[in-house]
A and B are shown apart, each in its own frame.
Chain A
């Protein structure tokens, strides 16, 4: 627990030479801090999660966004839309493959991962998420397999089995579960006492928007390689732009609501990944590129859509990662903790 304390404000004398101390770190803050609390010690604990968690949030969100986009195209789109977007089911299935292993790897006791499912407790976002992932993964695989069987990619007994999948039902159930998967991650972080995560009401919505923009971008990216028509690309671009616009509005609202609490994110070492990655590449750049692509067609349109899709997907990862990591710094912010508990 010693390693969880913030870095020293003044330099402590160097540790004595010879035997290393048994505790890893000696970074105790010395003297009073701006919060007016007990020295400058943190009020809340340092989150123990590592890179697996934001990576999982990103992939799970993208899978959900791709599945929802593909389902929307199946049910409302033209024949071209349906053919081009159906690859979204493959994207969803592929992105879900590493999700459960990532979630398990982050546990303190990975051998007990199945304890997550020994009870059903939706009050705990962690439990809800584990169940949602468990239910969504087979549905995404089944829907992907049924499409593969339809195009003749999947033959033999497996193909026959895949043809039995009720597609409409799989799409409806997958959309509900997918949106839950995309929507719970931000709420999970917000359901803590880490000031950066908990102060604003909008983190759940922001992660949802980011999941949908990156998911629809992934559908565009795969559609381009499947001989998609220009009209479909334009429609996908409109959908992506809507999600990016929503994401931009939500990130603004999130920062306004967080106020001074957002400092670990907006200044310092996470400023570049957040402003350039999450905001710049994740929302601004795709919007501008789609604006340019509006009246283009053919190769021009394709290269602009590709660039926008890649930016949106990368920005989505930058958003999860920077907010997640900056939350660890925020947990050391005694002033922000007191501010949060005063509301």
Chain B
């Protein structure tokens, strides 16, 4: 019966699960060359976002969005220390985190957002109807809806696919492939996590006391959205890189909010029954 239904509806079996794939972005190795941004745009045929001068160091990209799936941040700061002026210049290539509990995926009403066999989060462009709910749901401000006019899959939601098409052919995602310093490392998430812990120890031993990992299973940032399959080694607090301390998963508080809503509705019905009460 179910088989006949599946055949009738043209439903395919999902591909068998593979090992979780992800990125380890080691910001201590980033040189801000933006090769990842360019490679991503080229491979995924993303249109240009136009010229804009932000006035904020070398960052003229601004933000991740529908047509920008890698964004290199430039934190260029000067601080007076005694008589000397200290400079620091941090770089970080930001990307979709492919959360274990993804807020966008849970928000999606059409089932366009799915979890792939590589445990990544992917938007099916032929399903998405551009309702826009995933956009404010993402705690990292990653996913966005393309404008309704324009050539690029207009009106639907877009974000990093972790180069799903390349993974299918056992190829490294475009950004990791093009990274000249191995700041962006691609691989099995479990192995990358081991590598990240080792690297953190190394950096700490060298005196990088502020270095920390962001998105590991043991980190407090994983309390709601779970471990991030694209995680980071940072050289300062997450806030410095615009990363929330504990990214929120809207589902966690939803029952309570429905509860208040239902209480008001039931209360009104009771008052109504009393007001009209028994005159029937």
Known: A28-B56, A201-B257, A205-B260. A48 touches B145 (CB 8 A): yes
> Do residues B156 and A108 form an inter-chain contact, with CB atoms below 8 A?
yes
Q: Is B58 interfacial (CB-CB < 8 Å)?
A: no
Closest to A190 in B: B257
> Do residues A42 and B265 form an inter-chain contact, with CB atoms below 8 A?
no
> Do residues A77 and B276 form an inter-chain contact, with CB atoms below 8 A?
yes
Q: Is A166 interfacial (CB-CB < 8 Å)?
A: no
Contacts of B262 in A (CB 8 A): 179, 183
* Size category of the binding interface on chain B: 35 or more
Which listed residue, B50, B129, B280, touches A108 by the CB 8 Å rule? B129
Which listed residue, A39, A43, A192, touches B56 by the CB 8 Å rule? A39
Complex CA–CA separation, A330 to B75 (angstroms): 24
| Shortest Cβ distance from residue B74 to the other chain A in the assembled complex, whole angstroms | 9
Complex CA–CA separation, A341 to B253 (angstroms): 13
Known: A72-B272, A205-B261, A212-B264. A22 touches B48 (CB 8 A): yes
> Do residues B55 and A12 form an inter-chain contact, with CB atoms below 8 A?
yes
Contacts of B108 in A (CB 8 A): 121, 124, 126
> Do residues B256 and A45 form an inter-chain contact, with CB atoms below 8 A?
no
Contacting residues of chain A (1-25) with chain B, CB-CB under 8 angstroms: 1-2, 4-5, 12, 21-23
Contacts of B246 in A (CB 8 A): 341-343
| Shortest Cβ distance from residue A134 to the other chain B in the assembled complex, whole angstroms | 12
Which listed residue, A77, A113, A207, A338, touches B280 by the CB 8 Å rule? A77
Contacting residues of chain A (116-171) with chain B, CB-CB under 8 angstroms: 116, 118-119, 121, 123-127, 130
| Shortest Cβ distance from residue B27 to the other chain A in the assembled complex, whole angstroms | 12
Q: Is B5 interfacial (CB-CB < 8 Å)?
A: no
Complex CA–CA separation, A4 to B56 (angstroms): 16
Contacts of B268 in A (CB 8 A): 68, 209, 212, 239, 242-243, 246
Contacts of A188 in B (CB 8 A): 133
Most A CB contacts (10 A, CB to CB) among B256, B268, B273 go to: B268
Known: A76-B272, A76-B279. A119 touches B110 (CB 8 A): yes
Contacts of B263 in A (CB 8 A): 205
Closest to A121 in B: B109
Known: A126-B131, A331-B136. A23 touches B107 (CB 8 A): no
Complex CA–CA separation, A188 to B108 (angstroms): 12
| Shortest Cβ distance from residue B219 to the other chain A in the assembled complex, whole angstroms | 13
Q: Is B144 interfacial (CB-CB < 8 Å)?
A: yes
Complex CA–CA separation, A285 to B115 (angstroms): 51
| Shortest Cβ distance from residue B256 to the other chain A in the assembled complex, whole angstroms | 6
> Do residues B110 and A116 form an inter-chain contact, with CB atoms below 8 A?
yes
| Shortest Cβ distance from residue B17 to the other chain A in the assembled complex, whole angstroms | 21
| Shortest Cβ distance from residue B128 to the other chain A in the assembled complex, whole angstroms | 7
Closest to A13 in B: B53
Contacts of B163 in A (CB 8 A): none
Contacting residues of chain B (223-249) with chain A, CB-CB under 8 angstroms: 239-242, 244-248
Which listed residue, A2, A182, A331, touches B52 by the CB 8 Å rule? A2
Contacts of B14 in A (CB 8 A): none
Complex CA–CA separation, A175 to B270 (angstroms): 13
> Do residues B110 and A1 form an inter-chain contact, with CB atoms below 8 A?
no
> Do residues A30 and B109 form an inter-chain contact, with CB atoms below 8 A?
no
Could you pull out 19 A-B pairs where Cβ atoms are within 8 angstroms?
A12-B55, A30-B55, A41-B63, A44-B136, A76-B273, A82-B280, A108-B145, A108-B146, A108-B156, A108-B157, A109-B154, A112-B127, A116-B110, A116-B129, A121-B108, A124-B106, A182-B265, A184-B261, A193-B139
Other A-B pairs, 15, CB within 8 Å; known A5-B63, A183-B262: A4-B65, A4-B144, A41-B242, A43-B141, A45-B136, A48-B144, A78-B280, A106-B131, A108-B130, A109-B129, A115-B127, A118-B110, A175-B269, A179-B265, A187-B261
Nearest 10 pairs of A and B residues by beta carbon: A108-B130, A1-B65, A23-B50, A108-B155, A341-B244, A204-B261, A127-B109, A22-B50, A72-B272, A78-B279
